[in-house]
Structure 1
Amino acid sequence: MIEVENLHKSFGDNHVLKGISTSFEKGKTNLIIGQSGSGKTVFIKCLLGLFNPDEGSISYDGRIYSELAPRERSDLRQEMGMVFQGSALFDSMTVEGNVMFPLDMFTKQSTSEMLDRVNFVLKRVNLVDANHKYPSEISGGMKKRVAIARAIVMNPKYLFCDEPNSGLDPKTAILIDNLIQEITQEYDITTVINSHDMNSVMEIGEKIIFLKDGFKEWEGSNKEIFKTDNAAVTNFVYSSELFKKVRQMYIEERN
């Protein structure tokens, strides 16, 4: 579990995060949503340890990040996996090389041990026989699966995903959502997803944090979001035609 208490972050006169307190639960898909400029990216970078908050604390299963020694912080970062918005694969490396990269950097495993682990995670994300392909030779959906495989190859306790469905067609996006949720539950990971995709909210939003202007405006589940009367939330999510239809179905069933 990740626990956040009264988090503030400013850049000069720009106060980006304004006293956010929340928690992200283990074994669940936790989503951060909100409009551009709401503070989502800064928030997730604080969670990753890339930004130091000005006030407040972040703890990882009881370990308060600001109180850790440099070596302890380094060890904690190795417990984190990250799926970047654009997949961030190395074009000059094969699929196998991309997934093996963290193992080569941070472990002392033999080549055969690393290869066994790479093949295991590639099989888990349904990418068998793709080892020797290059990123330019595979589809966008396959690149996302390679990025997920690389993110979990170190068997992380915490998985962070920044807009994992960006650039994907709706069908592939659902497959990626489902894969992330399956891996989260299977390995009991604390997963935090930065997203603007309302389909993801409805598919896998077990815990949702809605940010507006740096504040935590609302939190709840994908079931509770249909019930809220919070104007900021409904104005944001009504941009999705699918959400409108599902909400109308909920209202009709309730009546």
Structure 2
Amino acid sequence: MIKVEDIHKRFGDEEILKGISTTFDKGKTNLIIGQSGSGKTVMLKCLIGLFKPEEGRIYYEDEAIQDMDDEKQRALREDIGMLFQGGALFDSMTIEENVMFPLRMFTKQKKSDMLERVNEVLARVNLENVNKKYPAEISGGMQKRVSIARAIVNRPKYLFCDEPNSGLDPKTATLIDNLIQEITHEYDITTIVVTHDMNSVMEIGQKVVLLKNGKLVWQGTNEEIFKTDNEDVTNFVYSSDLFKKIREVQLKEQ
């Protein structure tokens, strides 16, 4: 579980996050949504410690990041898996080397043990016999699955995903969403996904946090998001062409 208490983040005179408080539960897919410029990415970077809020506290389980010494912060980094927007695979490394990279960084395992774990997670994301290929030799959807394998290779307690469906066709995007949710439940981890994709909200949004202009304006489940009369929610949800059509059908049925 990750708990956020009244965090503020500024860059110069501009306040990007304006007093956000919420919790992200273990074993659930927690989504942060909002339009561009709403503060989603800044919040994500605060959560993983890349940015330090000027005010407020961020707790991992019962301990605030601000209270952790260097050793505890290093241990926390080992417990975090990260799926970057573009995949962020190393072009000069094979798939096997890419997935093994966190193990080389954070563990002292034997090469044979690392390879066994690499093959385990590649099989988990339905990728086999690609070990010696390079990222450029596989599709974008396969690259995303490799990135997921790399993110979970260290058995993280926390998984962060930044726009995981960016650049993917709808069918592949749904596959990635479902894979993220399956892994979250299977490993009982705390997963936080930053997205503006309403299809992802509908598919996997067990907890949804909506940001607008740096403020948290609504939170609930993917079922509740379609029942609320919160104006910020309805404006965001039905800005999507797909959900405009859904809304038209709903109004006709009333």
Is the 8 Å Cα contact of residues 95 and 130 (structure 1) preserved in structure 2?
yes
Shift of 1:244: 3.0
TM-score using structure 1 length: 0.97
Is the 8 Å Cα contact of residues 238 and 247 (structure 2) preserved in structure 1?
no
Given residue 141 of structure 1, which amino acid in structure 2 is its aligned partner? G
Quick one: structure 1 residues 142 and 62, their matched pair in 2 at CA, closer, same or farther if it must change by over 3 Å?
Answer: same
Report the RMSD for the aligned CA atoms in angstroms. Answer: 1.2
Shift of 1:50: 0.5
Count of aligned pairs between the two proteins: 254
1:50 corresponding residue in structure 2: 50
- Partner of 2:74: helix, strand, or coil? helix
2:188 corresponding residue in structure 1: 188
Q: How does 1:210-249 map to 2 (within 5 A)?
A: 210-247=210-247
Is the 8 Å Cα contact of residues 38 and 212 (structure 1) preserved in structure 2?
yes
Answering whether residue 106 of structure 2 is matched by residue 119 of structure 1, we say no
Q: Deviations over 1:80-129 (max 9, x none)?
A: 00000000000000000000000011100000000000000000000011
Quick one: structure 1 residues 82 and 111, their matched pair in 2 at CA, closer, same or farther if it must change by over 3 Å?
Answer: same
Shift of 1:242: 2.4
1:25 corresponding residue in structure 2: 25
Distance 1:145 1:119 in 2: 13
1:167 corresponding residue in structure 2: 167
2:68 corresponding residue in structure 1: 68
Q: Deviations over 1:170-223 (max 9, x none)?
A: 000000000000000000010000001110010101100000000001001110
Distance 2:129 2:63 in 1: 40
Is the 8 Å Cα contact of residues 33 and 210 (structure 1) preserved in structure 2?
yes
Distance 1:251 1:101 in 2: 52
Q: Deviations over 1:4-29 (max 9, x none)?
A: 00010001101000000000011110
Answering whether residue 204 of structure 2 is matched by residue 200 of structure 1, we say no
Quick one: structure 1 residues 77 and 251, their matched pair in 2 at CA, closer, same or farther if it must change by over 3 Å?
Answer: farther
Distance 1:166 1:144 in 2: 10
Given residue 69 of structure 2, which amino acid in structure 1 is its aligned partner? A
Given residue 176 of structure 1, which amino acid in structure 2 is its aligned partner? I
Distance 2:53 2:83 in 1: 22
Shift of 1:70: 1.1
Shift of 1:233: 1.5
Q: Deviations over 1:55-86 (max 9, x none)?
A: 11111111211001011011101100000000
1:157 corresponding residue in structure 2: 157
Answering whether residue 45 of structure 2 is matched by residue 82 of structure 1, we say no
Taking only the aligned residue pairs, the percentage that are identical comes to 68
- Partner of 1:42: helix, strand, or coil? helix
Gaps of 5+ in 1: none
Shift of 1:245: 3.8
1:6 corresponding residue in structure 2: 6
Distance 1:249 1:156 in 2: 42
2:140 corresponding residue in structure 1: 140
Distance 2:220 2:251 in 1: 18
Distance 1:90 1:6 in 2: 37
2:99 corresponding residue in structure 1: 99
Is the 8 Å Cα contact of residues 226 and 247 (structure 1) preserved in structure 2?
no
Distance 2:248 2:188 in 1: 34
